[in-house]
Amino acid sequence: MNRKFNKNGKKHLEIIHDEKSNQRPILIIGGTGKTGKRVAQRLVSREIPVRIGSRTGKPPFDWNDKDSWKPMLKGIGAVYITYYPDLAAPGAAHTVGEFAKLAVQNGVKRLVLLSGRGEEEAKRSEKALQDSGADWTILRSSWFAQNFSEHFLLGPVLSGTIALPVGDVKEPFIDVDDIADVAVAALTDIKHIGEIYELSGPRSLTFSEVTKEIAKATGREIQYIKISIESFITELRQQGMPEEIVSLMVELFTEVLDGRNSHVVDGVQRALGRAPRSFSDYVKSAATTGIWDAHK
Ligand SMILES: NC(=O)c1ccc[n+]([C@@H]2O[C@H](COP(=O)([O-])OP(=O)(O)OC[C@H]3O[C@@H](n4cnc5c(N)ncnc54)[C@H](OP(=O)(O)O)[C@@H]3O)[C@@H](O)[C@H]2O)c1
């Protein structure tokens, strides 16, 4: 009997399609980055084949080189898309839309996009994904907790002074392990198609409160200072940051971090049926890796 034509025919067909597509590799754009590498580890541990899309991958994938896109899509079943440097960067929505259309043309319908909360520019990329004809899922994320241990705020933590142009605005920092769990669920289970998951941690903290938590866990003196946006720009330029990134950082700190994202959201619970990890748990586990010990 051909079970495709039993009385639950339509649903059964969808599941067959899903199982088939999941046997093909999952392409992870930004597969060496903070969320991408964790998504890759989780899929590999479930014996799902992965292909890493990044400039250092084999073959290389570069957002700025359209010729590098198509070879990456060959034989792929689904794609996790993280755009770099940021979905708020000029031209990001056009590029993400072009990539999504190319993926669909090449038989890859399942696309999961990492987006940012409260960013108008990021919404344009989301729309481009939705208009591409893909079976899409959008992960609209809060600030990553790991920015303090694996990204641009690690240096300030190690130096003992975090200086940013933000005062009492709270942010519900999310552990990127939670984002990776949601991404893997979305890439492997059709029930997440068409969902927009707003992702945050379970509690909102100011940068001053974050600094105190990290200082307590590490036993080090770390101070938080609110600086002017002008001093911030000067500091970024002195570090040799490209002007494009300086503009993005200014937009982030003047527009996105204005309190619009301070409230906690339920995307992790909705997608996974469990609560997100707390910032305190993140701090404890990051401290045990020794990442914050270098200047002790
Ligand atoms: N950080 C946050 O708090 C936060 C919050 C919400 C949303 N997001 C979003 O997350 C996304 C990732 O940002 P992130 O800062 O966290 O970076 P990330 O994912 O940790 O690292 C960047 C990744 O992209 C790759 N990459 C860099 N330039 C590339 C290029 N031109 N073409 C192809 N791949 C490239 C890098 O690998 P190679 O160097 O090997 O190319 C690396 O795998 C952004 O779209 C951002 O808007 C971030």
DSSP labels, 126-150: HHHHHTTT-EEEEEEE--BGGGGTS
**Residues with Cβ within 8 Å of residue 191, at least 6 apart in sequence:** none
Q: How far, in Å, CA of 112 to CA of 115, rounded?
A: 10
**Residues with Cβ within 8 Å of residue 35, at least 6 apart in sequence:** 82, 114, 144, 176, 179, 180, 183
Strands (E), 175-254: 196-199, 223-226
Q: How far, in Å, CA of 29 to CA of 288, rounded?
A: 29
Ligand 1 pocket test: pick from 62, 63, 82, 175 the residue with the most ligand atoms within 8 Å of its Cβ: 82
pLDDT per residue of the chain (296 residues) written in tens, 0 to 9: 233 333 333 333 333 334 444 489 999 999 999 999 999 999 999 999 999 999 999 899 999 999 999 999 999 999 999 999 999 888 999 999 999 999 999 999 999 999 999 888 899 999 999 999 999 999 999 999 999 999 999 999 999 999 999 999 999 999 999 999 999 999 999 999 999 999 999 999 999 999 999 999 999 999 999 999 999 999 999 989 999 999 999 988 988 899 999 999 999 999 999 999 999 999 999 999 999 986 54
- In this structure, what DSSP letter does residue 122 have? H
Q: How far, in Å, CA of 278 to CA of 43, rounded?
A: 24
Q: Which two tokens stand for residue 4?
A: 């495709």
Per the confidence metrics, is the pTM higher than 0.85? yes
Pocket of ligand 1 (CB under 6 A): 30-36, 54-56, 61-64, 82-84, 86-87, 114, 116, 141, 143-144, 147
